[in-house]
Amino acid sequence: MHHFIHLEQHYCAHNYLPLPVVLNRGEGVWLWDVEGKRYLDMMSAYSAVSFGHCHPELVAVLTAQAQQLAITSRAFYSDKLGAFLRLLCEMTGQDKALPMNTGAEAVETAIKAARKWAYKRKGVPDGKAQIIVCDGNFAGRTTTLVGFSSEPQYRDGFGPFAPGFVNVPYGDAQALEAAITPHTAAFLVEPIQGEGGIIVPPEGYLAACREICTRHKVLLICDEVQTGLGRTGRLLACDHENVKPDGLILGKALGGGLLPVSAFLARLDVMDVFQPGDHGSTFGGNPLAAAVGHAALNLLRDQKLIEHAQSMGAYFMQGLRAIHHPAIRAIRGKGLLIGMELDPHLIPARRFCEELMKHGVLSKETHDTVVRFAPPLLITREQIDEALHGIRGTLYAMPAPVAHDMHHA
């Protein structure tokens, strides 16, 4: 175990602080370390492994396609891309899609589309387009995307940043309306903030944003890289309020947990601002990605994983709320995207995750105080019970911090 950790620490940039476990096998909701210990995966690789590890149907499609044709670039047509994007557009109700690889690339694509749409369709003066974003957002790690983050560490040392972004508080529709000017191209928003701490906005927020954007001729672009494809108990998290965005960003689970696949989807007049040569990606929309993405979407639909995520999420949330421990500040989420906020003075989230690992459950904290629970969508009631047993056991086994006596300071 220590050999692998030492090797990675020696040769890999220290841009992550992983939990001290070395994994080498996965199946369904389970992961195994190099010593053969089994863990329940409560991370799903930040929601990328919604179908579980090494899903046999997806692995079969991946293997067959890899043996036939994998990468050609978009310089040529393939027999796989059209069918994949047709299914994706039909399921999401969008007109067209632009395939990319990572979620961050798809967000960058959305930004380019919104700006060009503002100049070519809305009449915003060239170079003046503004995009409104929310405090607490997480869109990815490119220099443009960290430039509008409100998290100091994500920005520190990486400037100068691209102008053209305006931050408003999350969950406040009035603040959005107040920030709109004739130069506003789009409002880019996560229906639930994932990295921000599983923050669920007030009910009716997204619907109010939709109405405001329509009235002001501003594009509503929903970043559903983490919340999309069944994660919250609906195909899209914006479906909870029957909101149809003008632009939609998908990623993570779209690749079936096997490879990076993302897409920006939009209505016709938004997507048609792209002409040949305007934008591209060597790997975007490759036959391997398209074949796996197509199979993943079929799996999601045919195995009723969305409905399953909703019922299992409700059951999980109920179980977490039944744990009455003084360190628990809040339980939040929708479907199988759940955050447990801890009082850092009583139990720091990182330490909790390290102890939870000893109970055979893997998760990772976000923002020092929130532990996320986002298992593969095919998790069963029995497996949730096992997770709850581990969570409860970890909470009550952790020693209370020593109270400092102020008189002896």
Q: Supply the residues annotated as catalytic.
A: 138, 223, 252
Which residue from 62, 106, 54 is spatially nearest to 290, judged by alpha carbons? 62
Please, how many CA atoms are within 13 Å of residue 233, restricted to the half-sphere of its CB? 17
Bridge partners, residue 186, by sequence: 131, 219
Reference 397, options 359, 365, 364; nearest CA is 359
How many CA atoms does the CB half-sphere of 149 hold within 13 Å? 21
**In sequence order, which residues have a C-beta less than 8 Å from that of residue 161 and are 6 or more positions away?**
143, 144, 146, 147, 148, 155
- Residue 218 Cα distances to 97, 235, 246, angstroms: 20, 24, 9
- Which residue bears the tokens 């175990």? 1
42 and 53 Cβ atoms separated by less than 8 Å:
no
